[in-house]
């Protein structure tokens, strides 16, 4: 574990996740940025920050495109270069990767990466339609296949091949709601019972309401620097030591398998190799639980268990807060919420808190290595990042 950091996170910010009727996305991003600036008093935003890379999925939600300069304006950072990155629900995971590339190239020394989405003012039917835009228009959308429907197709295939149960999926929801109850910034901060999850109304069988992440408003950001100057800004930087990004067919139906996301496997292998660590070295992980089945697939794709054994990991409590490998301590997309463009860097924000000992009631003891896993669409994009405390 002697890997050289790619970049260092010297600060991070997150808006409260939830229903923000009175705000548009740019205002939520300003809240996240304000927290990041406050947390890092040695940083002079105007003098130090050189560029913005912003994950944002869709202009449909707010009828607002050209997100990069809008957010630079609302955060006082004009006229710095500001670019929007779009990879559906993996948009800010991709923005993080882009920020890393900008620093590694030597072009910039300090950048802000983040993401934003403002979704709750839309009807469920509208959001269902906008999210489905991340799937294949010509064959999936044209046949009325929704975004939950795509993950349901994976769930059914996984149940058929490995015997995974609806109860195991529901246990993921129960765990993540418990963690969310400890996170003051989570959209939902209440526990649920297994019975309640299993009896919730059907969205796309076998997925029920409590198998699905929340439609949420929110924003997140990280301030990245070149590792050699990180200590100018903070005594407790968190280093990014591995970055993996991969793509796959836009259509789920074209994949080699329905029970695993190849992009996530490829991205995690790239990240582990770069960081020179193994899955067993990870102390805490934030994975893309847009649906409960997605978290079980993530366990397998990230090498936390062998293929088909995701259900065992949840049954054995290994990924609970007190377990050997706590997963989604923030509450995950499931309870913290899933403002799609903000999710990737919100996951990194939680890992940043965990590795700097700022996660309060949900703090994992002595966490040294963290992982985040951010998936776009039904798996056409996946990004995996690895982090190490200083």
Residues serving a catalytic function are: 89, 338
CB of 252 to another protein, least distance (A): 7
Among 2, 125, 322, 366, binds another protein (CB under 8 A): 125
Is 223:36 a contact under the CB 8 Å cutoff? yes
CB of 175 to another protein, least distance (A): 24
Q: How far is CA 253 from the centre of its chain?
A: 24
Is 308:300 a contact under the CB 8 Å cutoff? yes
Which residues lie below 8 Å from residue 173, measured CB to CB, with a gap of 6+? 192, 197, 210, 211, 292, 334
State which residue, 64 or 141, has the beta carbon closest to another protein.
Answer: 141
DSSP for residue 224: E
For another protein, which stretch binds (CB under 8 A), given 63-71, 146-154, 220-228, 287-295? Answer: 146-154
CB of 155 to another protein, least distance (A): 8
Among 47, 105, 106, 144, binds another protein (CB under 8 A): 144
State which residue, 199 or 228, has the beta carbon closest to another protein.
Answer: 199
CB of 129 to another protein, least distance (A): 4
For another protein, which stretch binds (CB under 8 A), given 58-66, 108-116, 123-131, 188-196? Answer: 123-131
CB of 271 to another protein, least distance (A): 27
Residue 128 binding another protein, by CB under 8 A: yes
Phi, psi (5° rounding) for residue 253?
-65, -15
CB of 153 to another protein, least distance (A): 5
Q: Which of residues 153-212 bind another protein (CB under 8 A)?
A: 153-157, 160, 201-207
Measure the CA–CA gap between 260 and 1, rounded to whole angstroms. Answer: 28
Residue 63 binding another protein, by CB under 8 A: no
What is the total count of residues that contact another protein (CB under 8 A)?
A: 37
Tokens of 143: 């046949």
Alpha carbon of 85 to those of 124, 220, 235: distances in Å?
A: 25, 14, 30
Residue 252 binding another protein, by CB under 8 A: yes
Residue with tokens 């058929």: 160
Residue 132 binding another protein, by CB under 8 A: yes
Among 60, 146, 312, 363, binds another protein (CB under 8 A): 146
Q: What is the SS3 assignment for 228? A: helix
For 190-220, give one letter per residue: b (16+ CB within 10 A) or e.
Answer: eebeeeebbebeebbebbbebbbbbbbbbbb
Tokens of 340: 């799609």
Tokens of 63: 């009828």
Residue 379 binding another protein, by CB under 8 A: no
CB of 144 to another protein, least distance (A): 4
State which residue, 6 or 154, has the beta carbon closest to another protein.
Answer: 154
State which residue, 74 or 139, has the beta carbon closest to another protein.
Answer: 139
Tokens of 18: 């939830």
Point out which residues pair with 374 in neighbouring strands: 383
Measure the CA–CA gap between 207 and 198, rounded to whole angstroms. Answer: 9
Written as one string, the DSSP assignment of 299-362 is HHHTTSS-TT-HHHHHHTTTTSTTSSS-B-TT-HHHHT---GGGHHHHHHHHHHHHHTT--GGG
CB of 312 to another protein, least distance (A): 22
Residue 48 binding another protein, by CB under 8 A: no
Residue 143 binding another protein, by CB under 8 A: yes
Tokens of 248: 């796959």
State which residue, 61 or 272, has the beta carbon closest to another protein.
Answer: 61
For another protein, which stretch binds (CB under 8 A), given 28-36, 55-63, 152-160, 216-224? Answer: 152-160
Count of alpha carbons within 13 Å of 32, Cβ hemisphere only? 33
Q: Is 3 exposed, middle or buried (0-12, 13-18, 19+ CB in 10 A)?
A: middle
For another protein, which stretch binds (CB under 8 A), given 55-63, 70-78, 135-143, 224-232? Answer: 135-143
Please report, as ranges, the residues that interact with another protein according to CB under 8 A.
Answer: 124-126, 128-129, 132, 137-146, 148-149, 152-157, 160, 201-207, 251-254, 258
């Amino acid at each position: 574990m002697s890997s050289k950091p790619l970049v260092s996170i010297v600060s991070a910010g997150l808006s409260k996740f939830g229903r923000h009727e009175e705000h548009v996305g740019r205002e939520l991003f300003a809240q996240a940025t304000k927290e990041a600036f406050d947390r890092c008093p040695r940083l002079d935003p105007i003098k130090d920050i050189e560029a913005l890379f912003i994950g944002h999925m869709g202009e449909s939600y707010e009828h607002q495109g050209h997100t990069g300069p809008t957010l630079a304006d609302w955060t006082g950072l004009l006229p710095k270069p500001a670019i929007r990155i779009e990879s559906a629900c993996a948009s800010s995971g991709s923005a993080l990767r882009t920020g890393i590339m900008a620093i590694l190239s030597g072009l910039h020394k300090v950048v802000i990466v983040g993401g934003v989405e403002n979704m709750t003012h839309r009807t469920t039917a509208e959001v269902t339609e906008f999210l489905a835009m991340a799937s294949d228009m010509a064959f999936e959308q044209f046949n009325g296949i929704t975004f939950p429907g795509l993950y349901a197709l994976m769930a059914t295939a996984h149940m058929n091949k490995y015997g995974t149960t609806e109860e195991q999926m529901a246990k993921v929801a129960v765990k993540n709601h418990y963690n969310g109850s400890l996170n003051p910034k989570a959209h939902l901060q209440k526990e649920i019972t297994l019975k309640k999850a299993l009896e919730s109304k059907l969205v796309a069988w076998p997925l029920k309401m409590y198998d699905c992440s929340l439609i949420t408003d929110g924003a997140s950001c990280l301030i990245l620097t070149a590792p050699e100057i990180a200590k100018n800004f903070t005594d407790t930087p968190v280093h990014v030591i591995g970055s993996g990004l991969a793509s796959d067919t836009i259509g789920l139906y074209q994949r080699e398998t329905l029970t695993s996301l190849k992009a996530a496997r490829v991205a995690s292998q790239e990240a582990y190799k770069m960081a020179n660590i193994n899955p067993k070295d990870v102390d805490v992980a934030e994975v893309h639980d847009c649906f409960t089945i997605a978290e079980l697939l993530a366990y397998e794709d990230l090498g936390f268990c062998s293929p088909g054994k995701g259900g065992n990991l949840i049954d054995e409590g290994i990924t609970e807060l007190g377990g050997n490998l706590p997963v989604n301590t923030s509450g995950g997309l499931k309870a913290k919420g899933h403002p799609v463009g903000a999710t990737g860097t919100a996951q990194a924000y939680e890992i940043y808190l965990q590795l700097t000992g700022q996660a309060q009631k949900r703090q994992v003891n002595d966490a040294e290595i963290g992982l985040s896993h951010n998936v776009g669409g039904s798996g056409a994009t996946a990004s995996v990042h690895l982090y190490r405390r200083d």
